[in-house]
Structures are given as C-alpha cells and as structure tokens.
C-alpha cells in the first residue's frame, strides 16, 4: 500500500506490515481504518494549529483596527493571512538580513 500526497510518495506499507496490522484490525476494513487514522492525525494537527493562530490573532486584530471577525475558520484564517504583520513559520525562523548598510553605523 502506497501512501502519497499531491503525487509524492510518502511511504509504502509492505504486505507484511499490512498483515501485522490485520492481526489487530479486520482486514475487510483495514484500508478504511488506515484512511481514518491518517485523516485524524492531519486534522488534529490542523485543529491545534488553528487554536494557536486564533489565540494569537484574537489579541492582535484589534491592534490592526479589525473588530469584526468571521466565525468560519477558513475565512478567519484568510483574514489573518491578509494582515500586514502576519508571518508564517518559515518567515519567523528565517535569519534577519540588513538591507540598509547605514543601519550598521
């Protein structure tokens, strides 16, 4: 069984590994059970990430003069992403660069 995301193979579950899983999970539902577990892991990560995003930005949005926020999670996230002071994890961890050499004087 190959597990892929956006056409990229993530890992392969061998026949032996599937048989080991079938020792605990009825083989008739093994595929569905694996799909359910994969979905749970990703959605759990999403929910936890959304909680942290919302906790942070519920405090920041009023500072940006935003007082009405959507209750829909996707719309809320899009509002946050549109803020001038939003940065994602990659941007937050990037090393700072100095664009103006006069700042060094």
Rounded distance between C-alpha atoms, residue 85 and residue 9, angstroms: 35
> Is residue 39 assigned to a domain?
yes
Q: Is residue 101 part of a domain?
A: no
pLDDT in tens, 30-50: 999 999 999 999 999 999 999
What is residue 94's DSSP assignment?
S
Measured torsion, CA atoms of residues 93, 99, 100, 105, in degrees rounded to the nearest 10: 40
* Residue range 43-77, pLDDT digits in tens: 999 999 999 999 999 999 999 999 999 999 999 99
Residues in the chain: 105
Number of domain units in the chain: 1
Q: Where are the alpha helices (DSSP H) in 1-105?
A: 15-22, 30-60, 73-81, 89-93
In a domain, 96, yes or no: no
| 95 within domain boundaries | no
Residues spanned by the domain of 54: 2-85
């Amino acid at each position: 069984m190959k597990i892929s995301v956006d056409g990229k193979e993530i890992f392969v579950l061998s026949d032996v590994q599937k048989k080991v899983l079938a020792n605990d999970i009825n083989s008739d539902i093994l595929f569905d059970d694996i799909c359910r577990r994969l979905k749970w892991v990703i959605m759990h990560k999403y929910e936890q990430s959304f909680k942290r995003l919302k906790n942070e930005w519920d405090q920041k949005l009023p500072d940006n003069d935003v007082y009405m926020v959507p209750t829909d999670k996707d719309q809320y996230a899009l509002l946050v992403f549109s803020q001038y002071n939003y940065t994602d994890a990659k941007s937050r961890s990037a090393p700072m660069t100095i664009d103006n050499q006069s700042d060094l004087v």
